[in-house]
Amino acid sequence: MIGADQTLALGLEVFHKPADLAATAAQLDQLRAKTHRLHAAVALVRDDLLVWSHVETAELTMRAFSKAERDEVLALEGEAILGSVGGYRLEGPSIRLFETVTGDYFTILGLPLLPLLAALRRYEPQLFAKADA
């Protein structure tokens, strides 16, 4: 089994997926003109045993955007944005809120894909071998 999830940290504060668009707006206001870290973790498990795990981190800096810019992005993104821990999607209109992005694109999307593929190649026999009868 493959499991993956993300967390977002601004200093010592950890963010979770916003509950609604108002919470998303408030979260984006907290992130405005600051650099935050997006952590994406992935794990391989077989028979309830952890076989491998990995965490990648990306750093993202938001511009000093206006309330009007924020509201326009939220209107374009709609409720789909609520599935994102950051309250934004780089693959959508939210990209316009950013000044710099440093890190692996797949990590930012929520799955450190290249490390996962390497682990699947390495651990394939352990993960997919038939259990002894």
Catalytic site positions: 5
Q: Are 86 and 38 in contact (CB under 8 A)?
A: yes
Q: How many CA atoms lie within 13 A of 53 on its CB side?
A: 11
Q: 20: closest CA among 31, 28, 12? A: 28
